[in-house]
Amino acid sequence: MELMMMIDKPIYTRKLLKAKACFFQNTDYALSLHNTLWLNILLR
C-alpha cells in the first residue's frame, strides 16, 4: 500500500496543482465559497 502511494504521488500532486489552478482561475466561485464559509461560522 505504501509503495503504491509513492508511485502515485507525482500523478496525485500534478492533479492537485491542476485543480488548484482551475480553482484560482474561477475567482467568483472561490469568493462565493469563502463568503459561504464565513457566513456559516458567523451564523453558528
The tens digit of pLDDT for each residue in 1-44 reads 566 555 667 777 888 888 877 777 777 777 888 888 888 888 87
- Distance from C-alpha of 38 to C-alpha of 28, rounded to nearest angstrom: 15
Which helix (DSSP H) or strand (DSSP E) does residue 1 occupy? none
Question: Which residue from 21, 3, 2, 24 is spatially nearest to 13, judged by alpha carbons?
Answer: 21
Q: State the pLDDT at residue 31.
A: 80
pTM listed for this prediction: 0.35
Burial class (CB in 10 A: 0-12, 13-18, 19+), 19: exposed
